[in-house]
Chains A and B, each alone.
Chain A
Amino acid sequence: MADFSTILKEQGDISVIKLKGYLDAHTAPVLENKFDELIKSSKYKIVVDFADLAYISSAGLGVFMAYIEKVRENQGDIKLASMSDKVYNIFDLLGFPLLYEIYKSEEEAIKKFSE
C-alpha cells in the first residue's frame, strides 16, 4: 500500500503542510482532509513543502486545483515549495507554474506572504 503522510506546522498565521511519500488516487483524500481542516479554521495562508514527496500523479495535482480558488477568495494562497526535479516536471508538463507560485525553499515561500 502506498505510503503517504503529512505534517502540519504553524508559523505565525502561515500553515505549512509537509508532504511525505506517494501522493496518488489512493492517498489524495489524506491531503484533501488537511486542506478541509485548514479552511474550516479559516487558515488561508498555506505553504506546501514537497521536499519529502517521492511521487505525484494527476489525482494528487487535482487536490491543489480543488482548493486554490476558495483560498484566494479569502485573501490567501497555496504556495508550493521544495519540489524535486521529478515532481516539478509533472507540474510543469501540465502548466501548473502558470497558476501557482513555486519556490525553491519553504522559507522563501513563507517570506512571500509577508511581502
Chain B
Amino acid sequence: MKTKKLIVKSRTENLSKIRDFVSSNASEAGFSKDEIDEMILAVDEACTNVIKHAYKFSPDGDIILEIKFDDNALTITIEDNGISFNPDVIPEPDLQKYYREHRVGGLGMYLMKTLMDEVKYKSEPGKFNRVSLTKKLKSA
C-alpha cells in the first residue's frame, strides 16, 4: 500500500494542482487514461464542493488529500474543517429544474457517484468532513 498526501488552501486556483496530484498517482497505480480522467473529475468535483459549500469561498481553509493505492484499488480521501452537510439531502440532478432556476446543484455529487466505484461520507460537525472516493483496478 502506497500513501501520498497533499494539503492545499481552499482556493479554486488550486484545482489544477489537485488534478495533477490525482493524475500522477493514478497513473503510477496503473489505471487507464479514461479511468484517470474519471478520477480527476470526481476529485475536482469533491474539492469544488469543499471550497464552495464547506468553506463558502473563504480562501484559507485546508483541504487535505490523501491517496492510498495497492494492486487492487485506489482511494482518495478529501478532508476539510469547514461547515458540515448531510449528503442524503442532496437531490438527484434535475435538468428541468436547473433550466428554470438558471443554475445547477448536486451535479458534482452525482458525477462522483457515477465515476467512482465507491463514495463514502463521514462528518463530525465542528471537527471535520471527509469524503472517500474509491476506484478498483480492473486488471486486479
- CA–CA, A26 and B11, complex, Å: 8
User: What is the number of residues of chain A that contact chain B, defined by CB distance less than 8 Å?
Assistant: 27
- CA–CA, A96 and B19, complex, Å: 24
A25 touches B99 (CB 8 A): no
A65 touches B102 (CB 8 A): yes
Q: Tell me the interface secondary structure of chain A in the complex.
A: helix
With a CB–CB cut-off of 8 A, which chain B residues contact A25? Answer: 12, 15, 44, 48, 51-52
B44 touches A86 (CB 8 A): no
With a CB–CB cut-off of 8 A, which chain A residues contact B103? Answer: 62, 65-66
Nearest-CB residue, chain B, relative to A1: B13
With a CB–CB cut-off of 8 A, which chain B residues contact A61? Answer: 104, 107
* A93 interface contact, C-beta 8 A: yes
A26 touches B12 (CB 8 A): yes
A58 touches B99 (CB 8 A): no
